[in-house]
Amino acid sequence: MTDLTRRTAAETAAAVASGEVSAVEVAQAHLDRIAEVDGQVHAFLHVDTDGALAAAKAVDEKIAAGEELSPLAGVPLAMKDVVVTKGLPTTAGSKIHEGWRPPYDATITRRIKDAGIVMLGKTNMDEFAMGSSTENSAYGPSHNPWDLGRIPGGSSGGSSAAVAAFEAPLSIGTDTGGSVRQPAAVTGIVGHKPTYGAVSRNGLIAFSSSLDQAGPFGRTVLDAALLHEVIAGHDPADSTSIRGPVAPVVAAAREGARGDLTGVRIGVVRELGGEGYQPGVLASFEAAVETLRGLGADIREVSCPHFGYALAAYYLIAPSEASSNLARFDGVRYGLRVGDDGVNSLEDVMSLTREAGFGAEVKRRIMIGTYALSSGYYEAYYGQAQKVRTLISRDFAAAFEQVDVLVSPSSPFVAFGIGERIDDPMAMYINDLCTLPASLAGTPAISVPSGLSEGLPVGLQIMAPALADERCYRVGAAFEAAVEPLVVPRLVGVTR
């Protein structure tokens, strides 16, 4: 691993802009790092060597011409494979999408390219973003750089692993029920879920349309904030996109790094902790709260009584929306097609294609969602779940009348072993206990590293009111500045 891959995104951007190093050199260093370690980490599904070097060369040419650069020009990035990228494979981790090369870019892809950020390739993920471990990928699991026998979280596990393994300083994930924050926590990096609607969903392959939200990964809070400002902003191509200015997250991160939280009211959520959480996770969280107190924050306990129903509500709402969204994958228009031999009917082709193309977890969620939406059961299941969602949103509103942000562990557990929970859906689903409430309410939340338990990373989750993403970054940066950074002791099988 070279010095160029150790740097933060902010440091890399400054070095490229000053001429200390070329964007091509930075890109090549990260491509070399991928070649060195990704055979073991399996963060990437596709590495776009030619495209990355061409994008880097374009940045160098702009510098030579004296053109103004964006704050992240020349910085490499890994893109979750659920985000549409023109001309590059976009599989969503599924066999049913194998070989599809989209004819257009997602809005966030276009914004990343326009900013001069160098996209290295597409990262592995749980199929259609359904999972908490990346084991549901049709292309095999990704591995946690802290211990290659453990999961890197999910569904954005490839994106988190790429950043943690120094294959890229930045990456994009998507968060439906915690799929940015939980992977960030278990790999020891920073991950933010923006306010729902703050980042365009145009060009994201949909899982659950009322929940899906793209967000940034970085190794520091400032890096995540810099990427957040690139991808956020109104998009007329997305009907759920919020009109209005982008939250001042970079300024907030810089302010927070000064380490002063005097007067900031921080609520500890009573319902997100206790029985069922690993003792080491709780100990790390308690230490984090004391650190925040030491920075001048006013710490209060807050009750959000309906958070305990978030898991049940989510696993009715998200599968119901998935059942509708995934109906478009039928083997007729693009992607995998099975049984098209001139003998089978169109209905047979659809059935055979879906049987071969969808994995077990996707089929499970489609069946749950279809049942929940069926005649006679809609109100009893989907309708009731939406009412619970409203109650959770009201809990947040009441809490934010008392405090500025809420905190909790990001996940009840550290990274578990690959294969350990794959046959127990409920054991897998409870990984999202802490992250689901903010997803259901559409509020922003960030995970920042808060220490170790059993030698593995633990994350601190910071939640803020809708459209107040900057609060997450300010408190996160202050906490980050007050604690020792996590350092992977050893990437198993690979020297650093």
- Residues 429, 407 contacting (CB under 8 angstroms): no
Render pLDDT for 266-291 as a digit per residue (tens, 0 to 9). 999 999 999 999 999 999 999 999 99
Which residue blocks in 326-383 are alpha helix, DSSP H?
346-357, 360-373
Active site includes 80?
yes
Quick check: 117 and 105 in contact, CB under 8 A? no
Q: What are the backbone dihedrals phi and psi of residue 375, each rounded to the nearest 5 degrees, phi first? A: -55, 130
DSSP 401-434: TT-SEEEEES-SS-PPBTTSSTT-HHHHHGGGTT
Q: For the packed helices 49-64 and 9-18, what is the interaxial angle rounded to 10 degrees? A: 50
Domain tally for the chain?
Answer: 1
pLDDT by residue (tens digit) across 306-325?
A: 999 999 999 999 999 999 99
- Residue 471 located in a structural domain: yes
pLDDT number for residue 394:
98
**Cβ partners under 8 Å of residue 225, min gap 6:** 192, 216, 249, 250, 252, 253, 473, 477
Residue 322: which of 368, 390, 381 has the closest Cα?
A: 368
- Confirm if 327 and 446 have CB atoms less than 8 A apart: no
Q: Is residue 408 part of a domain?
A: yes
CB atoms within 10 A of CB 452: 16
The verdict on residue 32 lying in a domain is: yes
The answer to whether residue 387 is domain-embedded is no
- Please give the pLDDT value at position 1: 61
| Catalytic, out of 22, 137, 142, 179 | 179
Q: In whole angstroms, what is the distance from residue 292 CA to residue 354 CA? A: 50
155 is catalytic: yes
Return per-residue pLDDT of the chain as tens, 496 residues: 678 999 999 999 999 999 999 999 999 999 999 999 999 999 999 999 999 999 999 999 999 999 999 999 999 999 999 999 999 999 999 999 988 999 999 999 999 999 999 999 999 999 999 999 999 999 999 999 999 999 999 999 999 999 999 999 999 999 999 999 999 999 999 999 999 999 999 999 999 999 999 999 999 999 999 999 999 999 999 999 999 999 999 999 999 999 999 999 999 999 999 999 999 999 999 999 999 999 999 999 999 999 999 999 999 999 999 999 999 998 887 888 898 888 888 888 888 999 999 999 999 999 999 999 998 899 999 999 999 999 999 999 999 999 999 999 999 999 999 999 999 988 999 999 999 999 999 999 999 999 999 999 999 999 999 999 999 999 999 999 999 998 776 665 454 3
Distance (Å, whole) CA 159 – CA 22: 24
Q: Which residues, in sequence order, are bridge partners of residue 185? A: none
Q: Which two tokens stand for residue 271?
A: 């319902």
Residue pair 198/247 in contact (Cβ under 8 Å)? The answer is yes
Buried b or exposed e, range 326-362, using 16+ CB within 10 angstroms: beebbbeeebbbbbeeeeeeeeebbbbbbeebbbebb
All residues at 6 or more sequence positions from 333 whose CB lies less than 8 Å from its CB, including other chains: none
Task: Establish if 328 belongs to a structural domain.
Answer: no
Question: If you search the block for the tokens 């939980």, which residue do you land on?
Answer: 182
Beta bridge partners of 299: 266
Q: Is 327 part of any domain?
A: no
Q: Is residue 393 part of a domain?
A: no
User: What b/e readout covers 366-392, taking b as 16+ CB neighbours within 10 angstroms?
Assistant: bebbbebbeeeeeeebbebbbebbebb
Vertex 306: Cα angle to 207 and 409 (nearest 5): 70
Q: Which residue has the tokens 């893109």?
A: 79
pLDDT value for 339 = 85
Residue position matching structure tokens 């990260």: 30
Is residue 95 part of the annotated active site? The answer reads: no
Q: Describe the crossing of helices 221-231 and 107-114 by its angle, rounded to 10 degrees.
A: 110
Q: What distance in Å separates the CA atoms of residue 285 and residue 449, rounded to the nearest whole number?
A: 10
Whole-number pLDDT of residue 261: 98
Of the residues 70, 132, 133, 155, which is catalytic? 155
Strands 456-463 and 405-409: antiparallel
Active-site residue, from 22, 80, 142, 160: 80
Flag whether 222 is in a domain: yes
Residue whose structure tokens are 């099975």 = 338
Domain hosting 141: range is 3-271+281-303+399-482
CATH of the domain at 289: 3.90.1300.10
C-alpha pair distances (Å), 416 with each of 284, 288, 364, 458: 17, 22, 22, 12
